[in-house]
């Protein structure tokens, strides 16, 4: 996914208050539906996919999650970024019975079946850069987030 076409400052949400995961999913899905970026099936698909295949991972200084859906629920490729310093509870990818607090969430909206593998590799590379991830979490402007992502994900 070419990042320059998928990043939209309106889809970057910084420093959200702690909330229920499904409330966050509902907020993001509603926004994406209103913009015509996803299909009507997206909200339910997002919740079901995350329940069946949790995406939360613990990094050195924070938790991250990469919720995503199958391509038939997506109209336009986008990346939604959410930061929540207090954390949002997600189930762990490694052990779905356990929960953890997630501070940075990347909603992947992909149109090509195998595109997520390459993009996930870039994200995982970014996850290994503690300073950059801390800068993302502590960012106070969408421009700052877009600059960090453009540097590390293009």
Distance CA 137, CA 85 (A): 7
CA dist 58 and 63 (Å) reads: 4
Strands of the sheet with 99-109, listed across from one edge: 7-13, 78-91, 99-109, 63-65, 57-58
The answer to whether 81 and 23 have CB atoms below 8 angstroms apart is no
Tokens 């939360």 map to which residue?
56
30-61: per-residue pLDDT in tens? 999 999 999 999 999 999 999 999 999 999 99
Examine the pLDDT at 3 and tell me if it is beyond 80.
no
Top-tier CATH class for 3-153? alpha beta
pLDDT at 14 over 70: yes
Q: Are 112 and 71 in contact (CB under 8 A)?
A: yes
Confidence band of 114 (pLDDT split at 50, 70, 90): confident
Confidence of residue 22 (pLDDT cuts 50, 70, 90): very high
């Amino acid at each position: 996914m070419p990042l320059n076409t998928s990043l939209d400052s309106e889809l970057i949400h910084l420093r959200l208050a702690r909330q229920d995961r499904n409330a966050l999913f509902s907020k993001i899905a509603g926004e994406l539906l209103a913009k015509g970026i996803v299909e009507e099936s997206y909200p339910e698909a997002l919740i079901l996919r995350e329940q069946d295949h949790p995406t939360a991972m613990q990094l050195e200084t924070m938790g991250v999650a990469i919720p995503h859906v199958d391509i038939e629920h997506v109209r336009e490729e986008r990346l939604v970024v959410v930061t929540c310093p207090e954390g949002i509870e997600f189930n762990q990818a490694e052990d779905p019975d356990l929960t953890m607090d997630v501070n940075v969430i990347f909603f992947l909206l992909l149109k090509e079946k195998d595109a997520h593998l390459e993009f996930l590799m870039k994200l995982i590379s970014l996850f290994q850069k503690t300073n950059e991830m801390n800068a993302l979490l502590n960012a106070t402007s969408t421009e700052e987030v877009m600059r960090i992502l453009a540097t590390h994900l293009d």
